[in-house]
Amino acid sequence: MLEFSILAILATCIAGMMTRAQSRKRKREALLPVWERENGKNEIEKWLEGFLAKLKRTSTRTEKCRLILAVERMQFEDDWYAAWWKHVRFGEENVKILDTGINVGKKDLQKIKITEFQKELLKSNASLKNQLIGHSEIKEEKGEWQIPAELKTKIISEGGEALIFSEKFGICENAVRVQIFDPFLFSNNFGLNFLTWKINFEKDYEQATNKEQSGKANQMPKYKNIIKNFVNIELFHKKDLKKEDCIGMGHNYGKGWRRFENCFEGRKNWN
């Protein structure tokens, strides 16, 4: 019986030690920035769902405008094509990039496989298929953000396609920048139920670099006015299973974000 008593005491002691160790771990985790925690991405995702649900905007652009913008986001085999192309024509599987300018030696610049997001746009307006669409046909955006009162007090800067908020994650105060690439994003036609995302922490990247030094490596964007960029969140249409076409992005900036605020002081139309 004595042996059983000793075993019971040992088991109780071990269980108590494990409980205290877990408690200490939770306390240590609570002091860490969310992007350094073991379940950090789960915490960011939980915050993200609530945050994105509050973002609303209107758009005066059309499905044709969305297709033109989607072409602008594509990767061309020659970077100059991004500036040269004048028209596009969407077929069944490929989009043909055309330069129809006067005295152009090469009219057909490139054929690119249509993305899943572009297929969704063509489904919503089939008349755009096999139609010659001009780069210049994109309409001016006159839509506006419709920010709820609870977020308005957090706004650092507000522009046509971008918003910057102050947001607190645990003990850390950060700047969160939201940039949209598809004009319908967060409108009544393109809400949270159509979205999926990819959360990237700093440690997920091989290096941090600015645009001038960027290459094909896995890189965290770096900006001269920001001391630290901790989290990048890429937004995609849920049908875009391969996550080919990023239609919106969020950045979480760390220490020194006040410099970011000062940089945009008084520039309410910044995009």
Q: In the predicted model, is pLDDT for residue 1 greater than 60?
A: no
Pair 69, 82: CB distance under 8 Å: no
The pLDDT value recorded for residue 101 is 74
CA distance 129 to 136: 18
Q: What is the pLDDT of residues 123-136, one digit of tens each?
A: 999 999 999 999 99
Cβ neighbours around 208 below 10 Å, total: 14
- The confidence band for 263, taking pLDDT boundaries of 50, 70 and 90, is very low
pLDDT at 259 over 50: no
Residue 183 C-alpha from the chain's centroid: 14
Q: Kindly report, residue by residue over 48-68, the tens digit of the pLDDT.
A: 999 999 999 999 999 999 999
Q: Are 219 and 212 in contact (CB under 8 A)?
A: no
* Res. 201: pLDDT tops 80: yes
3-state secondary structure of 236: strand
Q: Using the predicted structure, report yes or no on whether residue 34 has a pLDDT greater than 70.
A: yes
Pairwise CA distance, residues 241 & 8, whole Å: 53
pLDDT score, position 16: 54
How many other C-beta atoms lie within 10 A of the C-beta of residue 255?
A: 14
- What lies within 8 Å, CB to CB, of 227 at 6+ separation is 253, 254, 255, 256, 257, 259
Beta strands in 42-140 (DSSP E): 87-90, 94-98, 108-113, 132-134
Alpha-carbon distance 151 to 167, whole Å? 10
pLDDT band at residue 91 under the 50/70/90 scheme: very high
Tokens matching residue 211? 């645009």
| Residue 116 token pair | 């899943």
Q: Which residue has the tokens 């605020």?
A: 261
Positions of E strands within the chain: 87-90, 94-98, 108-113, 132-134, 155-158, 162-169, 172-180, 195-201, 207-209, 219-221, 229-237, 248-253
Q: Give me 156's structure tokens.
A: 């650092």
